[in-house]
Amino acid sequence: MNTINLGMAVVLAVLYSVGFYLLLQRSLMRILIGIVVLGHGANLMLQLAGGPPARAPILGTAPPELFADPLPQALALTAIVITFAMTTYLLALGYRSWVLVGHDEVQDDVEDRRIAERERPEGSMADDTAATGTDDEEDPGSAAASAEPAGTGVAQ
Amino acid sequence: MTTLVTLPVLLPILGAALTVIGSRSARLQRLVGIVVLAAVSVVAAVLLVAADRTGPVVVELGGWPAPVGIVLVADRLSALLLLISTLVTLAVLVYAIDQRITDYGRDTASTTFHPIFLLLSTGVSLAYLTGDLFNLFVAFEIMLFASYVLITRRTSASRIRSGMTYVIISLTSSLLFLSTIALVYAATGTVNLADLATRVAALPPGLQTVLALMTVVTFGIKAAIVPLHFWLPDSYPNAPAPVTALFAGLLTKVGIYALLRTQTLIFPQVGPSTVLLVIATLTMIVGALGALAQNDLNRLLSFLLVSHIGFMLFGLAVFDARGAGGTALYVVHHITVQATLFLVSGLITRRTGTVSIDQMGGLAQRAPFLAILFAIPALTLAGIPPTSGFVAKLALLQAGADGGPFTRIVAGVVILASLLTLYAMVRVWIRVFWGTAREPLPDADPADELVVGTAATSRPMYAATSGLIVISLTIAAAAGPLSAVTGRAGTDLMDRLPYTTAVLR
Amino acid sequence: MSTDHHRTPSWDDWDYPEGEWMLSGECPVRTNRTLMLEMAARVLFPTVLVFSVYLLIVGHYAPGGGFSGGLVAGLAFVLRYIAGGDAEGAAIGSRIRLRPPLLVGIGLLLAVLAAFAPVAFGNPVLSSAMLSVDVPVLGHVDLVSSLILDVGVYLLIIGVVLDLLRSLGSAIERDEREARR
Q: What is the mean pLDDT of residues B307-336?
A: 93
d(CA C67, nearest CA chain A) in Å:
9
Chain C residues close to B69, C-beta within 8 Å: none
Torsion sign over Cα B213, B216, B218, B221: negative
The pair phi, psi for residue C15, each rounded to 5°, is: -100, 15
**Which of A24, A73, A77, A109 best tests the B interface by mutation, with the highest count of B CBs <10 A?**
A109
Task: DSSP letter for B227, please.
Answer: T
Q: How confident is the model at residue A146 (pLDDT cuts 50, 70, 90)?
A: very low
Would you say B492 and B498 are in contact if contact means Cβ atoms under 8 Å apart? yes
Which carries the bigger pLDDT value, residue B441 or residue C111? Answer: C111
Torsion sign over Cα A49, A50, A54, A56: negative
Question: Closest Cα partner for B318 from B414, B239, B225?
Answer: B414
Domain boundaries, chain A: 6-101
Cα separation, B186 vs A14, in Å, equals 20
Size of interface B-C (CB pairs under 8 A): 59
Burial class (CB in 10 A: 0-12, 13-18, 19+), B439: exposed
Would you say B290 and B224 are in contact if contact means Cβ atoms under 8 Å apart? no
Q: What is the mean pLDDT of residues B170-190?
A: 92
Mean of per-residue pLDDT scores for chain B: 89
Which carries the bigger pLDDT value, residue B119 or residue B226? Answer: B119
Which carries the bigger pLDDT value, residue C162 or residue A129? Answer: C162
User: Which pLDDT score is estimated for B454?
Assistant: 59
C130 Cβ under 8 Å from any chain B Cβ = no
d(CA B187, nearest CA chain A) in Å:
5
Residues 1-30 of B with CB under 8 A from C: 2-3, 6, 10, 13-14, 16-21, 23
Q: Which domain holds residue B312?
A: 2-503
B294 Cβ under 8 Å from any chain A Cβ = yes
**Which of B133, B159, B164, B292 best tests the A interface by mutation, with the highest count of A CBs <10 A?**
B164
Chain A residues close to C167, C-beta within 8 Å: 92
Q: What is the mean pLDDT of residues C134-162?
A: 85
H or E element, residue B72: strand B71-74
CA terminus-to-terminus distance, chain A = 57
**CB spacing of B167 vs A93 below 8 angstroms:** yes
Q: What is the mean pLDDT of residues C17-23?
A: 49
**Which of C78, C163, C165, C175 best tests the A interface by mutation, with the highest count of A CBs <10 A?**
C175
Size of interface A-B (CB pairs under 8 A): 106
Domain boundaries, chain C: 34-180
A100 Cβ under 8 Å from any chain B Cβ = yes
**Which of C1, C2, C108, C128 best tests the B interface by mutation, with the highest count of B CBs <10 A?**
C108
Q: How many domains does chain B have?
A: 1
Cα separation, B79 vs B57, in Å, equals 10
| 3-state DSSP percent of chain C in helix, strand and coil, to 5 | 55, 5, 35
Minimal Cβ distance to B20: which of C108, C113, C116: C108
B159 Cβ under 8 Å from any chain A Cβ = no
Chains that touch C (3 or more CB pairs under 8 A): A, B
**CB within 8 A of A14, min separation 6: which ones?**
none
Cα separation, C101 vs C81, in Å, equals 18
C129 Cβ under 8 Å from any chain B Cβ = no
Chain C residues close to B63, C-beta within 8 Å: 123-124, 127
Burial class (CB in 10 A: 0-12, 13-18, 19+), A122: exposed
Chain A residues close to C59, C-beta within 8 Å: none
**CB spacing of B155 vs A43 below 8 angstroms:** no
CA distances from C163 to B365, C8, C75, C98 (A): 50, 19, 13, 11
Chains that touch A (3 or more CB pairs under 8 A): B, C
Mean pLDDT is lowest, of B141-150, B359-368, C103-112, for B359-368
Cα separation, B124 vs B47, in Å, equals 16
B142 to chain A: closest CA residue: A82
Q: What is the mean pLDDT of residues C156-175?
A: 82
C163 to chain A: closest CA residue: A88
d(CA B11, nearest CA chain C) in Å:
9
A155 to chain C: closest CA residue: C175
B145 Cβ under 8 Å from any chain A Cβ = yes
Cα separation, C63 vs C130, in Å, equals 19
Q: Model confidence over B231-252: pLDDT tens digits?
A: 998 888 888 889 999 999 999 9
Q: Model confidence over B378-424: pLDDT tens digits?
A: 999 998 888 899 999 999 999 998 888 888 999 999 999 999 999 99
**CB spacing of B171 vs A86 below 8 angstroms:** yes
Mean pLDDT is lowest, of B146-160, B443-457, C12-26, for C12-26
DSSP-derived 3-state class of residue B387: coil
Any long-range contacts for A71-79 (C-beta under 8 Å, 24+ apart)? A71/B185, A71/B191, A72/A46, A72/A47, A72/B182, A72/B185, A73/A47, A75/A46, A75/B134, A75/B181, A75/B185, A75/B191, A76/A43, A76/A46, A76/A47, A77/C67, A78/B134, A78/B138, A79/A39, A79/A42, A79/A43, A79/A46, A79/B137, A79/B178
B165 to chain A: closest CA residue: A106
A94 to chain C: closest CA residue: C168
Rg (chain A; Cα; Å):
23
Would you say B128 and B193 are in contact if contact means Cβ atoms under 8 Å apart? no
Q: What is the mean pLDDT of residues B148-177?
A: 87
Residue type, A54: A
Q: Which CATH class is domain A6-101?
A: mainly alpha
C145 Cβ under 8 Å from any chain B Cβ = no
User: Which pLDDT score is estimated for B381?
Assistant: 92
User: Which pLDDT score is estimated for C27?
Assistant: 47
**CB spacing of A89 vs B161 below 8 angstroms:** no
d(CA B157, nearest CA chain C) in Å:
16
Cα separation, B14 vs B37, in Å, equals 11
Residue count (chain A): 156
A85 to chain B: closest CA residue: B145
Residues of A with CB under 8 A from a CB of C: 58-60, 77, 81, 88, 91-92, 95, 99, 151, 153-155
Question: Closest Cα partner for A112 from B293, B346, B308, B155?
Answer: B293
Alpha helix ranges (H) inside B202-296: 205-223, 231-235, 241-246, 252-265, 274-293
User: Which pLDDT score is estimated for C33?
Assistant: 63
Q: Model confidence over C33-87: pLDDT tens digits?
A: 677 887 888 888 889 999 999 999 888 778 888 899 999 999 988 888 887 765 5
What's the predicted TM-score (pTM) here?
Answer: 0.88
B74 Cβ under 8 Å from any chain C Cβ = no
Would you say B361 and B431 are in contact if contact means Cβ atoms under 8 Å apart? yes
d(CA C25, nearest CA chain A) in Å:
31
Q: Model confidence over B247-296: pLDDT tens digits?
A: 999 999 999 999 999 999 999 888 888 999 999 999 999 999 999 988 88
**CB spacing of A92 vs C168 below 8 angstroms:** yes
DSSP-derived 3-state class of residue B64: coil
Q: Model confidence over B50-105: pLDDT tens digits?
A: 999 998 999 998 888 888 889 999 999 999 999 999 999 999 999 999 888 887 77
pLDDT above 70 coverage of chain A, percent = 74
Which carries the bigger pLDDT value, residue A72 or residue A101? Answer: A72
**DSSP-assigned beta bridge partners for residue C144:** C130
A156 to chain B: closest CA residue: B447
**DSSP-assigned beta bridge partners for residue C135:** C139
Q: Where does chain C show beta strands of DSSP type E?
A: 130-135, 139-144
User: Which pLDDT score is estimated for B491?
Assistant: 92
Residue C164, pLDDT above cutoff 80? yes
